Chain A
Amino acid sequence: MTSPDTARNISAFADTKYGKLGNIAVSYFTVTKSADREFWSEPVGRLTLQKALTVKSDTAVADAIRLMQEKGKGCVCVQDDTGAVIGIFTERDVMVHFIGQSLSPDTPVDQVMTPDPVMVSPETPLSEAIEIFYEHKFHHLPVLNGNGRLKGLLSIRVAVDFVAEHLPGEVLNRPPDASLTAIEEGGG
C-alpha cells in the first residue's frame, strides 16, 4: 500500500521536469509554439533592411546599371533633388527597356524607371509585405521613414530567412535530402 504521503510525493514528482521520465512525453514533431507565429505581424522595420542604392533622376541609365553591377544589387532607388524617392529602377526595368532595345545609354533614368513605386513604412507588418512581393513579383521593397526619407530596402531573401528562422522544425532543420526524414521514431 502506498501511503498518502508517498502518493503526494509521486504526483508532485511526476509534475517536475525530472518526473517526466516516469511517463515519457515523446514529442516527435518539433512543433513551433503558437506564440512564435506572431512573426507574420512583425513590423518590417525590425527585419534587417539593406542599404538602398540611390541615384538622382537625371542619372544616365548606363550609370545606374553600372552601379547595380558594381554593388551586385538588383535595383536602385531614384531620388529627386529633395531626396524624395520618385521611382525605382530594377533588373526587370533593365530587361524591358534597355536589353535588346535601342535606348540610348545616356537616357535619364527617370524616363525608364518604375515611377511611384509601392513603398512601405517600418511599421508595415511582414504579412503585408509578403502579399506585395507575391502580387507584384517584386524582389525588393523600399521602406520609408515617417518623414518620407528612405530607411532601406526590404529584400525578399531577408523575408524568407526571417520566416525560416521562426519555423525551426518545419523549415530550418529539414534534412538536405528530405527522403531521409524518419517516418517513425528511431527510423522505424
Chain B
Amino acid sequence: MIATEDDKPAEPKEVKLTRRDFVAPVDVRWCPGCGDYAILNTIQNVFPTLGIPRERFVVVSGIGCSSRFPYYMNTYGFHTIHGRAPAVATGVKLANPELSVWMITGDGDGLSIGGNHLMHLLRRNIDIKVLLFNNKVYGLTKGQYSPTSELGFIKKSTPYGSIDYPINPLHFALASQATFVARTYDTNPKHMTRIFNAAAAHKGTAFVEILQNCVIYNNKAWADIVAREVRDDALLDLRDGRPLIYGKEYNRAIRFNGFTPEIVELEEDATTDDLPLHHRSDSGYNYAYALAGLEYPAFPMPIGVFRAVERPTYGEQSLLQARYATEKRGHRNLQSLLMGGDYWEVEEKDALIKVHQDPHARADSLADEMDVIEERRAEREKYISDPLFSALATRISSLEVTYGTGRVISIDPGDSVNRAIMLLKEYNLDCLLVIQNKKLKGIVTSRDIVMKVALTDMDREKTAVKEIMTARPDRAESWNSVGDAINKMSMGSFRHLPVDHNEQGYGMISVQELLGYVYTSVKDKG
C-alpha cells in the first residue's frame, strides 16, 4: 500500500469481495481426503462476508499440517516457528490493531510445543481468532501420539499404547481464562460457518476447536461422533438461550444436577419449560467447564459456542497505558532508549570501564525513584508511628533491659540433674541455660524435670544435665525484632528463647513476656 501525504492509510474502497479473492494461486498440498480442505473452503467463504477489506486479514500459523494454511489464503500471513504462532500473532495485532488476525494451530503445535504461548494469548484476551485443528495425532511428522491422543493409542512412537492422559482443549482454554470458547467439526461447513462468524464477532481471543480427520495417520478420528448417520445422537448443538436438547427425534436433553450432568428422556407430550437454557455469557467458568467435560459415548459431545463473555482486550489496555505514559513522560522512541540512559562500556579485559550517563534519562529515573522513595517514606512513617508495628519492630535486646537479663541462670552440661532442680526451685524459674566455655549447649526446663525425671529412679546426683536437656536450642540474636522472636516461638512451639549477645553472653525471653510486651504497647499507646 502506498502511504498518502499525511501518512494516514487510505480508506479502503468498498469492494464486494468473493471467495475467489481469498484463494491463493498455489497448489493446495494436503493428503487427499484430509479434513483441512473443508476447513479451508469454509474460511475462504466466510472471510469475504465479514465486511473486512482483504488487506486487513492476517493468517498466522505455527508448524504442522494445519499450519500450511497461510500459503493457501490470499491474505497477509506468517508461517512461523513451532508453537510460536501466538507470539507472532500478538505482535502483529498490537502493532496494527486494525488487522483481523487469525491464528491456525493444531493439537501438537498449540497444546504441546506452544502450550505455554497459547495459555498466555488466551488469558491476555488479545483480539485474535484461534482455530485449533484437533486430529489427535502428529500428522506432518508421520503419526506420533499427540497431547489429545486417547489412552492406549497405538502408533510407531507408542507401540504398546499411549499412557499419557489426553488433554481436553476446551478445558485448557477455559483454565487459561478464555473469553470465547467454541467447538465445531470439519465435515459440517454450515456449522463451521456459524462458529467462525461468532468468533469473528467476538472482541477478544476467540478459541475454536475443530474436530478434524487425519485420513492417513488417524483415519476416522472422530467418525463415531461426527459421521452423518450418528451425529444427531452423538452431538449436542449448543444454541444460546435454548435448552440442551439433542437426538435424531429431538427427544433427549442434558440437565445438570449440581455439577453432575444427566440425560433426560423427553416424553412426546412433555414440556421443555423446566429444562435449563444454555447461557454462553455465563460469567463464571464452571458451567462451560462442565459442558466441555461431556464426552461421548456416556454423553453427547457438545458443539457450538460454550462461552462468550466480554472483557477488556489486551490491545485496548496497552493503547490506553501507552497514552497514559506519554501524557506523563512525553513522547519517546526506542532509539533514544537504547542510546540514552546509563550504561557502561568495557573496551577490553581489565581496562577501565567508561561510564555513560544521560542527564535527561537520569533526571527521569530520579523523578520516578523520588516518587517511590516518597511513597515508601510515608509508609514507613505510618509504620513507625503505629504502636503495634513499632512494638513488633523493637529489638529484643531493649526488652531484656526491662525484664533483666540478670535473671538468666546457667549451668554446665556436666552438672548434676539435682543441681538443675535446685537452681530452678531456688530462683523460681522455668528454664536454665546450659552453657560450656561461653557457648550455649542447650536448655533445661521444669518441663524436662516433670516429664523425664519425676517418678523415675534416675540417680539425680550422678546423671548429668546434658542427658535431659534440649540440645542445640533455637536462639535469637540480640538485634532480632520482637516479631522475629514471636516467629521463632510460634514456628518451634517454644516457650523460652535464648538470646545471643555474643561477648556479653546470653539472655532469655519468654513467650509471656513477648506477648505481654506487644499487647501492653498497643494498649498503652493505641
A interface residues (Cβ-Cβ under 8 A, vs B)? 2, 6, 9-10, 13-14, 18-19, 21-29, 31-32, 37, 40, 62, 65-66, 68-69, 72, 74, 91-92, 94-96, 98-100, 105, 127, 130-131, 133-135, 137-139, 156-157, 159-161, 163-164, 167, 170-172, 174, 178-179, 185
Q: Are the CB atoms of B449 and A95 closer together than 8 Å?
A: yes
Which partner residue on chain A sits nearest B388 by CB separation?
A: A37
Pairs A–B under 8 Å by Cβ, sample size 22 = A9-B320, A9-B323, A13-B324, A18-B317, A24-B372, A26-B372, A29-B379, A31-B382, A31-B383, A68-B451, A69-B451, A69-B455, A94-B446, A95-B446, A96-B425, A105-B455, A134-B516, A139-B495, A159-B515, A164-B486, A164-B487, A174-B484
Among listed B33-41, B214-222, B475-483, interface-contacting one: B475-483
Report the interface size for chain B: residues with CB under 8 A from the other chain: 59
Residue-wise interface mask of B (427-456) relative to A, using a CB-CB cutoff of 8 A (1 in contact, 0 not)? 000100000000000000011011101110
Whether B321 pairs with A172 at a CB distance below 8 angstroms is no
Q: In the docked arrangement, what's the CA distance between A28 and B379, Å?
A: 9
Docked pose: A105 CA to B511 CA in angstroms: 32
Question: Are B323 and A2 in contact (CB-based, < 8 A)?
Answer: yes
Q: B493 at interface (Cβ–Cβ under 8 A)? A: yes
A172 to B489, CA, bound (A): 11
Q: Is the CB of B321 within 8 A of A13?
A: yes
Inter-chain contacts of A137 with B (CB < 8 A)? 430, 510, 512
**8 shortest interchain CB distances as A-B pairs:** A134-B516, A164-B490, A22-B324, A170-B483, A170-B392, A13-B320, A174-B487, A171-B483
A74 touches B447 (CB 8 A): yes
Which B residues touch A178, using CB under 8 A?
477, 479-481, 484
Beta-carbon nearest neighbor of A69 in chain B: B451
Interchain CA distance A9-B422 in the complex, whole Å: 77
Beyond A68-B451, A131-B516, 15 additional contacts (C-beta under 8 Å) are: A22-B321, A26-B375, A29-B383, A37-B388, A68-B450, A95-B421, A95-B424, A99-B449, A100-B422, A137-B512, A157-B490, A170-B389, A170-B392, A171-B392, A172-B487
Q: How far is the CB of A166 from chain B (nearest CB, A)?
A: 10
Q: What B residues does A23 contact at CB under 8 A?
A: 328, 371
A19 to chain B, nearest CB (A): 7
Question: In the complex, are the beta carbons of B323 and A40 less than 8 A apart?
Answer: no
Interface string of B300-333 (1 = CB under 8 A from A): 0000000000001000010011011101100000
Decide if A28 touches B376 in the complex (CB within 8 Å): yes
A133 touches B493 (CB 8 A): no
Decide: B454 and A94 in contact? CB cutoff 8 A. Answer: yes
| A186→B248 CA distance, assembly (Å) | 65
Q: Is the CB of A98 within 8 A of B380?
A: no
Least distance between A44 CB and chain B CB atoms (Å) = 13
A14 with B486: CB separation less than 8 A: no
Per the bound structure, the CA–CA distance linking A180 and B100 in Å amounts to 51
Which of A19, A98, A157, A159 has a CB less than 8 Å from the CB of B324?
A19
A interface majority secondary structure: helix
Q: Which residues of A contact B324 (CB under 8 A)?
A: 10, 13-14, 19, 22
Docked-complex contact B487 and A130, CB < 8 angstroms:
no
Binds A, one of B169-177, B195-203, B271-279, B518-526: B518-526
Does B490 contact A21, Cβ atoms closer than 8 Å? no
Contact at A160–B447, with CB atoms within 8 Å? Answer: no
Q: Which residues of A contact B372 (CB under 8 A)?
A: 24, 26, 185
Residues of A within 8 A of B321 (CB): 13, 18-19, 21-22
Cβ–Cβ < 8 Å partners of A21 in chain B: 321
B526 CB to nearest A CB, Å:
9
Confirm or deny: B400 has a beta carbon within 8 angstroms of a beta carbon on chain A.
no
Q: Which residues of B contact A68 (CB under 8 A)?
A: 450-451
B181 to chain A, nearest CB (A): 23
Of A37, A65, A74, A133, which contacts B515 at CB under 8 A?
A133
Distance in Å: Cβ of B349 to nearest Cβ of chain A = 28
Smallest CB–CB gap between A27 and chain B, Å?
Answer: 7
Q: Is the CB of B512 within 8 A of A133?
A: yes
Shortest CB distance A97–B (Å): 11
Chain B nearest CB, measured from A55 CB (Å): 15
> Are A10 and B422 touching (Cβ within 8 A)?
no
From A22, A96, A105, name the one whose CB has the most chain B CB atoms within 10 angstroms.
A22
Interface residue B513 (Cβ < 8 Å from any Cβ of A): yes
Decide if B323 touches A10 in the complex (CB within 8 Å).
yes
Partner of A27, one of B379, B393, B520: B379
CA distance A14 to B514 in the complex (A): 43
Most chain-A Cβ atoms within 10 A of its Cβ — which of B392, B422, B522? B392
- Evaluate contact between A40 and B455: CB separation under 8 angstroms: no
Q: Quick one: given A29-B380, A65-B454, A68-B450, are A10 and B483 in contact (CB under 8 Å)?
A: no
- B379 closest partner in A (C-beta): A29
Do residues A157 and B493 form an inter-chain contact, with CB atoms below 8 A? yes
CB distance from B334 to the nearest CB of A (A): 19
Bitwise, B450-477 to A at CB < 8 A (1) or not (0) is 1101110000000000000000000001
- Rounded to whole Å, the gap between the CB of A88 and the closest CB of chain B is 14
Q: Which residue of B lies closest to A2 (CB)?
A: B327
Give the CA-CA distance A172 to B473 in the complex, in Å.
Answer: 20
**B513 neighbours in A (Cβ, 8 Å):** 134
CB distance from A102 to the nearest CB of B (A): 14
A131 B455 Cβ-Cβ under 8 A: no
Query: Cα distance A89–B514 when bound, in Å?
Result: 25
The answer to whether A10 touches B490, judged by C-beta atoms less than 8 angstroms apart, is no
Asked if B518 contacts A163 (CB within 8 A), the reply is yes
Which residues of chain A come closer than 8 Å to B312, judged between CB atoms? Answer: 18
List B contacts of A28 (CB < 8 A): 376, 379
CA distance A68 to B450 in the complex (A): 9
Tell me whether A161 and B490 are in contact (CB under 8 A). Answer: yes
- CB neighbors of A among B407-435 (8 A): 418, 421-422, 424-425, 430
